[in-house]
Amino acid sequence: MVHDAAIPAGIEPVYTAAERQGIYYSAAMWTPDLLELLALDLQISGRDSLAQIPGRALLDAWCETLAVFRDPGSAERQTLDPVLPRLCQLSPAGLEAGLESVLGGVDRDSASKLQRQADGWTSENSRSPLVILSLAANLPALAVQPLLPALLLRCPVILKSPSSEPLFAPAFVNALTERLPALKPALAAITWKGGDISLEAPLFSVADRILAYGDAETVADLESRAPERVFAYGPKTSLALMSDQAEPTIVAAGLARDIALFDQRGCLSIQAVFTTDDPNPLARGIAVELDRLAERWPPGPIDPVAAAGVQQVRMEAALRGLTVADTPLRTGTVVIEPEARFQPGPGLRTVRIHPLASMEQLPEILMDWSGQLQGAALAGDSAWQLCPRLTELGISHFAAPGELQTPDATWHNGGVHPFTALTGDELRDD
């Protein structure tokens, strides 16, 4: 039976049978004392063990593990594939595409780049904090993005999975520690019900740092209980910009991919497209490509709340006489919105296309969203020339259409270097 925990030897929680979405697995039962013991154990034994691991060995084990999880035929994937789509509420093909997108971003080339930065990392307070990585709900494989920098800095880690999807992180950690046993004392991937103050208090008293993916309320709660030790990756949104120098039919395929991946639930999922070109060919192109992707990567079960929002968008657009691509709701929704303003959509692969008179309009349009923006897919030279101004608004990741959802390992999520997020220290160049 699949376990929801990957833990060092000597830590022995009681396991009980658990069920979620019709999936049965073995769930570890955590107590405050046991969590504290785990944290102390990782802090002491884990640091020592991590310090002995050569960088090359770490990188090799990392890449081998990635390869296993990118291979649908591997034993690990064969175990996870029947259950993970249901837990994540994605289709099997949608999950496959999402995994490939995230895992592909932290492969050898970009992991090596980050490792070189780790080697050159200097700070007044060099240390390897014990880090709790509290993961977002239902975006599979997100664990790899904060995990790699933590390991490269030789930080012992507790990966806390959301209770809605407790299986990927332990499976990944088990596979990694199998390939590099020296990691075993330094890593744990577990889950518990978040927000349980008495359960978490001893753990939080030991942890040096907590990286949290979650909404404002979750983050505020953590910050109140672990002051000055929380780094938050709050919810954010992304967009695309296309100038009239780009070819809409080519751009449309990439944009559709960035819209459809993870059923538009990621912070790098595109919610709106701005263009200085005629919006009609682009809108048609995106609608056609979303239709194709609905075959190749069918959407997961339709969330009624999201569907309610999409119906509102569709019907409001129809009432206003806007151009709405005639596609089934589950395929996606494309609306040409003449008003030059930005707002996130209701999800389910919904996108608004906004015509602009000039690129210069965009920073002003996005001003009220400063700090809530994550990525921008850019097509055409004059779109790329806007990067500095978009960076000032907090956009941390720029890519060509189709590549937005595959940030590499050095990505400054939220505009912050991954090492700074882990340690609180600024990166210095030697």
* Residues 271-290 as x/- pattern, contact with another protein by CB under 8 A: x-------------------
Report the alpha-carbon distance of residue 272 to residue 251 in Å, rounded: 14
- The region of 35-43, 61-69, 175-183, 211-219 touching another protein under the rule CB under 8 A is 211-219
Report the alpha-carbon distance of residue 44 to residue 275 in Å, rounded: 54
Q: Measured between alpha carbons, how far is residue 340 from residues 215, 251, 336 in Å?
A: 27, 21, 11
| Strand ordering across the sheet containing 131-134 | 187-191, 157-161, 131-134, 209-213, 230-233
DSSP type of residue 123: -
User: Does the footprint of another protein cover residue 191 (CB under 8 A)?
Assistant: no
Looking at beta carbons only, is 206 or 232 nearer to another protein?
A: 232
Looking at beta carbons only, is 101 or 271 nearer to another protein?
A: 271
* Residues 157-176 as x/- pattern, contact with another protein by CB under 8 A: -----x-x------------
Taking alpha carbons only, the member of 300, 253, 27 closest to residue 140 is 300
- The region of 44-52, 69-77, 300-308, 391-399 touching another protein under the rule CB under 8 A is 300-308
User: Does the footprint of another protein cover residue 233 (CB under 8 A)?
Assistant: yes
Report the alpha-carbon distance of residue 140 to residue 144 in Å, rounded: 10
Report the alpha-carbon distance of residue 3 to residue 16 in Å, rounded: 10
User: Does the footprint of another protein cover residue 56 (CB under 8 A)?
Assistant: no
| Total residues interacting with another protein, rule: CB under 8 A | 53
209's enclosing H/E stretch is: strand 209-213
For residue 368, the minimal CB distance to another protein (Å) is 5
**Using the rule CB under 8 A, which residue among 139, 294, 351, 421 binds another protein?**
139
Residues constituting the chain:
430
User: Does the footprint of another protein cover residue 299 (CB under 8 A)?
Assistant: no
For residue 134, the minimal CB distance to another protein (Å) is 12
- Facing residues of 20 across strands? 23
- The region of 191-199, 223-231, 311-319, 376-384 touching another protein under the rule CB under 8 A is 311-319
Looking at beta carbons only, is 234 or 363 nearer to another protein?
A: 234
Is residue 20 classed as helix, strand or coil in its secondary structure? Answer: strand
User: Does the footprint of another protein cover residue 394 (CB under 8 A)?
Assistant: no
Q: Is 60 exposed, middle or buried (0-12, 13-18, 19+ CB in 10 A)?
A: middle
User: Does the footprint of another protein cover residue 197 (CB under 8 A)?
Assistant: no
Report the alpha-carbon distance of residue 334 to residue 313 in Å, rounded: 10
**Using the rule CB under 8 A, which residue among 184, 265, 284, 417 binds another protein?**
265
Looking at beta carbons only, is 90 or 131 nearer to another protein?
A: 90
Single-letter amino acid, residue 66: L
**Using the rule CB under 8 A, which residue among 19, 33, 217, 430 binds another protein?**
217
User: Does the footprint of another protein cover residue 346 (CB under 8 A)?
Assistant: yes
User: Does the footprint of another protein cover residue 112 (CB under 8 A)?
Assistant: no
User: Does the footprint of another protein cover residue 332 (CB under 8 A)?
Assistant: no
Q: Measured between alpha carbons, how far is residue 260 from residues 124, 125, 221, 331, 370 in Å?
A: 44, 42, 32, 9, 24
Taking alpha carbons only, the member of 70, 76, 39, 68 closest to residue 187 is 39
**Using the rule CB under 8 A, which residue among 343, 385, 426, 428 binds another protein?**
343
The residues of the shown chain that bind another protein, judged by CB under 8 A, are 89, 136-139, 142, 162, 164, 213, 215-217, 233-237, 262, 264-267, 269, 271, 302-313, 315-316, 318-321, 328-330, 343-347, 368-369, 372
